Structure 1
């Protein structure tokens, strides 16, 4: 924007009324899709599926936090009731502040949702006066006091005397109201609030003082991250609050991520003795994750699935990085978005009826994609020659077959998860958990390979054949309870057969049948002959006879039924727990790009920065930055040029030589004549640009200053150009 004025002056340019529209997720999705067909349908299915997963996740998290939140609500109600009655001094000392120590675990990203739910519940059922503070906004005592008062009173709060004088000049302005930052101000505000609420109550005469009025809700202050607070600031704040506890019904909630001993570490005894602390323990993050996986992943209700490698990446990030269930759910969301964005056939990843309708609407290019799927090619190879020809040439016939395959894929998922739970129930009772302690471990194993091909599965079956009668009956009863509610013909038949086996086991007599005497004689007679003098051949013959007699030993009725039950379970596993890759059209529902998920969720910032400095074209998309030999163009940004030059140096870099080389490159980029005297000379502009680029490299951690030589910097990277 320019002006036509001749004289110097200050000009104001008002922004245009039209605001630039921020691109939405739908715009990114539609413009970046791999295939143009059904883009809107795919985005709609993705959005609906994610909304359903998000709603179920929120309900699940509310259920998991309900117990701890209800306990906290009961604690706040009890403390409020105790204070409002005459037995306040008998319950606790007059200077003690009721405090709830809430141990949430190290999954810090999940704490915000818990505290938000807690704050909402407190405001709805206990007290409207609730304030939440974090350590990053309370570096000093005055900042902590200011945040607490602002969030409780809903008005501006002044801290310094200069600010008070400045705001006193605007005191008559109705739009500018502020109060002094002190707890006495909060007490006056609280008394005015309680008097107003009591006077507004219809049919009630006020004849008692404020303290005896039952309409005195507590003032709750939530410290979200106790470990991060400055101990001195926290100590001073508690000491000040203890002086006002007779006038103000204060209550604290400490959010603790590590251990309750943090309170003793941060607060000395003289301060912690002013708190009446009660401990509350939340559900562990691993149990939370197990519940989320059980309700969202191990269910046939959601057609979208993750393959073994993607599941392993998400679980590994959870276990080795943040323990955050919230981030795990975000990872599922990322995989969901990437699947519908990159897979044109994801239009079939929806409910059964909708998927069957979408099959009939597939275009010619979509049908060709189906023919190119690895799972479909394996399916075609197993068919008769005429059927192979029809599937390759007849589009109408292909659609009919695809409908049948979609139904079979739904049946596979409906039968897979109940059998998975049954196998997990049986194997978790075994010592050392041969197939994993958590069901997610068994699920990942089944996704990667047929579970019956593992040695751990064979050892688990051998251990199950050693179970006692009562243990086996208990495990089979749990399997019956798992299969009973499943609406599937195969699962109903399995449930009936398992019930029959269970009934036979319960009807067995407790007395073990005696072994036949002939078997005993056959076992002992060869042993008697071992005492006689014999040769090696005779000894081998005798041992073989003993082995055959042991094999011919008659099994008891319980052992027969036990083997029959375990063989039945083994048959169910081999029938229904085949890997998803063996199912035709599994690519429609399963997302398999683990590298994409790892790159987005488990990023390596240093590698990304080095890639950007080496190849700025891929980030800036400027054609002048394209180079063939992998070198950086002289037209690249200053930091890229300086970075490339520093790779050619040793451990110590001479700043003057570095500046001279930079000036030469920049002069060539500006198009100066190499033969001129000014070519490569350092001026003020080049010097300033060089200093800024070097400072940026130092900030990024590529170089550092050194005391060995004053005009040198030390290089912190490895390798050369």
Structure 2
């Protein structure tokens, strides 16, 4: 009889075909299948893939040194089979409070340990270790069977699963782990033992603060008793500080641990690296407006300290920017602008003509050009490509000036505009920063700096300019230093982009060499004869004469030193340079193509308001259900067609702090069955369920004062 032939009807399941179908479902994406041919989706997918690869490279560079040190520390034990006499090697990683970022960090650590040290790794979370028995079972299960099987990895072969799962989970004990390790590494022949080296057993506890202290203490003592036969290493993930580990373990437990602390990068530092190296650059395909950028950074600083969450928020802004709009295909690299403009349809070009930034550009043109921009689509495409290239030049100069301003403001005594690039970018992108009183105050503070401080600031600014120019073309050093008289003839170039950066570099080098050789001595011209007369006229105790003499001294003609004259010219040059390079993005033509400004739509999605959403759902269910039966004439009205929990919520809002359950039930029945005072037989069970749901949501709780009353908790 064939395998699919049976007397009775049935469904025959084949694992191999099921696995292939699962893989097919994973590869096919409905969203990509629907929008794969759209120009805006192609541009979005291409740009986000580049951003994601750059984020992965930065993540690897950031944590590479830390992870290498941890792996080297784990490798240093059990190499020569030496005994540690009951002391467990323990690596403590200070991860910080950014909980969403811990998963990727520990996954990278696990893959690195598996590649370089041992395949026997166990990562046990606090929710899987409520008791010592559960903690031992989960740790031993992962050490024996592997980390992938616990995650139900789809890549594992079906043939190897039965051999790995011979031991049931309730049979996973330390004695079973010891027997398994002896059979795998110690009971083989001496010749085979030379080829198979002993492997350490690594147990990772990523959320140390969430564990029960007594459970961890007992687990450490159990592991310590088996350390002579099992080479076990601990890795603790501590979010706060090392003191949390010492407070959780008494001396007889902490003495069993050989602790070494590894410090991870703090969340704000890593966030600044991600923003400054990836998103706050002219090479970034998408640029955020000042308000949008401020919203995302505020969510990071005031909510979760999660860099992963910040990146996902920026990804959502990028999706919102591109979705359904083909003109956003122009938001691409500079080399692809002409091809993207050539693929735009007549409707897309008409949409671009309706942008608010196009009107000032149109008004500055002559009549013939205006007619050509509206009637000739090919001519409009050429102008569009030219203006977008100018916009990219503007972005290059804008981000350069933002970094230069950060270099000059970092040593100032007052943190007026900000000291980091992201803070300065938020203000420069939102307004014309050079026209504000705070910017003028910063320039005054720079005008009061000493010679050494000013030279250090200029050298830091030169490093910024050189790093920007290295990506474009090699920087050639100046062969001869300019003369001092050339500083009076410095004229700003009208061009932006690479030309602007080269001009700024030449000017900074000029002022640097002039300030290095400048004389700091100053002379004051005063009338000596008058001074002697005033000195003779001064009578001890005569305050009026003393005050008059001091006023004359302040009115004396003072000649500035050479350093002060060059410094004042340098400050005026900075004002002109920043006034040209730090113009807000809203002044540029077609800035809507590259800048995301729709903050209101993103705020609703990123900054959740669960309290308002629950109130809206219960008071007006039609807002979410969109059904005719839940439509109400007013917000205060009630109907029998409403869901039971919504009706109970509306009635409970009309009560005071203490609610009588019987009166509440009568009002509930009066709405459901207006003609019957007792209500239907199903009225009381429906009411009881609605009250239980409101109690679960946190609107009411049982009262201890009266058994037939509940207490209202909100509003």
TM-score if structure 2 supplies the norm length? 0.84
Give the superposed CA RMSD: 3.3
Quickly say closer, same or farther: Cα 1:42–1:178, change in 2 above 3 A.
Answer: same
Q: Distance in 2 between matches of 1:543 and 1:373?
A: 63
Q: Distance in 1 between matches of 2:90 and 2:375?
A: 74
1:565 paired residue number: 570
Aligned partner of 2:610 among 589, 605, 610:
605
1:558: how far off?
Answer: 2.0
Note if 1:697 corresponds to 2:694.
yes
1:555: how far off?
Answer: 2.4
1:384: how far off?
Answer: 3.9
1:231: how far off?
Answer: 0.8
Aligned residue pairs, count: 650
1:4 paired residue number: none
Quickly say closer, same or farther: Cα 1:175–1:317, change in 2 above 3 A.
Answer: closer
Q: Distance in 1 between matches of 2:529 and 2:220?
A: 84
2:485 paired residue number: none
Q: Distance in 1 between matches of 2:164 and 2:335?
A: 59
1:170 paired residue number: none
1:646 paired residue number: 652
1:629 paired residue number: 634
| Offset from partner CA, 1:587-645 (integer Å, 9 cap, x none) | 11111222333222221111111111122123222222223323454312211122122
1:148: how far off?
Answer: 0.6
- Equivalent positions of 1:58-73 (< 5 A) are 58-73=56-71
1:682 paired residue number: 679
Aligned partner of 1:78 among 72, 76, 79:
76
1:322 paired residue number: 304
1:280 paired residue number: 262
| Offset from partner CA, 1:557-595 (integer Å, 9 cap, x none) | 222222232322222211111111111111111112223
Quickly say closer, same or farther: Cα 1:358–1:527, change in 2 above 3 A.
Answer: farther
1:44 paired residue number: 42
Aligned partner of 1:95 among 86, 89, 103:
86
Note if 1:194 corresponds to 2:191.
no
Quickly say closer, same or farther: Cα 1:207–1:647, change in 2 above 3 A.
Answer: closer
| Offset from partner CA, 1:487-526 (integer Å, 9 cap, x none) | 3122112212222222333344xx64563xxx52348847
- Answer whether contact 1:476 1:502 (CA < 8 A) is retained: yes
1:411 paired residue number: 393
Q: Distance in 2 between matches of 1:44 and 1:155?
A: 40
1:315: how far off?
Answer: 0.9
Note if 1:128 corresponds to 2:114.
no
Aligned partner of 1:659 among 645, 654, 665:
665
Note if 1:592 corresponds to 2:577.
no
- Answer whether contact 1:97 1:245 (CA < 8 A) is retained: yes
TM-score if structure 1 supplies the norm length? 0.83
- Answer whether contact 1:526 1:545 (CA < 8 A) is retained: no
| Offset from partner CA, 1:671-720 (integer Å, 9 cap, x none) | xxx5xxxx4543332221111111101110111111233222222232xx
1:178 paired residue number: 167
- Equivalent positions of 1:229-378 (< 5 A) are 229-341=211-323, 343-378=325-360
Q: Secondary structure at the match of 1:278?
A: strand
Q: Distance in 1 between matches of 2:533 and 2:167?
A: 106
Q: Distance in 2 between matches of 1:347 and 1:422?
A: 31
1:160 paired residue number: none
- Answer whether contact 1:615 1:632 (CA < 8 A) is retained: no
1:528: how far off?
Answer: 5.0
- Answer whether contact 1:26 1:43 (CA < 8 A) is retained: no
Quickly say closer, same or farther: Cα 1:65–1:207, change in 2 above 3 A.
Answer: closer
Quickly say closer, same or farther: Cα 1:430–1:549, change in 2 above 3 A.
Answer: same
Quickly say closer, same or farther: Cα 1:527–1:448, change in 2 above 3 A.
Answer: farther
1:261: how far off?
Answer: 0.7
1:162 paired residue number: none
1:323: how far off?
Answer: 1.0
Q: Distance in 2 between matches of 1:638 and 1:12?
A: 42
Note if 1:107 corresponds to 2:63.
no
1:446: how far off?
Answer: 0.5
Structure 1: gaps (5+ residues): 1-10, 157-172, 669-673
Q: Distance in 1 between matches of 2:33 and 2:583?
A: 36
Q: Distance in 2 between matches of 1:14 and 1:127?
A: 41
Q: Distance in 2 between matches of 1:680 and 1:595?
A: 48
Q: Distance in 1 between matches of 2:589 and 2:28?
A: 32
- Answer whether contact 1:308 1:445 (CA < 8 A) is retained: yes
1:46: how far off?
Answer: 1.4
Note if 1:499 corresponds to 2:502.
no
Q: Distance in 2 between matches of 1:249 and 1:531?
A: 94
Quickly say closer, same or farther: Cα 1:530–1:367, change in 2 above 3 A.
Answer: farther
Q: Distance in 2 between matches of 1:280 and 1:641?
A: 56
Quickly say closer, same or farther: Cα 1:26–1:463, change in 2 above 3 A.
Answer: farther
1:459: how far off?
Answer: 1.8
- Answer whether contact 2:145 2:164 (CA < 8 A) is retained: no
Q: Distance in 2 between matches of 1:47 and 1:300?
A: 19
Q: Distance in 2 between matches of 1:364 and 1:74?
A: 62
Q: Distance in 1 between matches of 2:550 and 2:203?
A: 81
Q: Secondary structure at the match of 2:262?
A: strand
1:554 paired residue number: 559
2:483 paired residue number: none
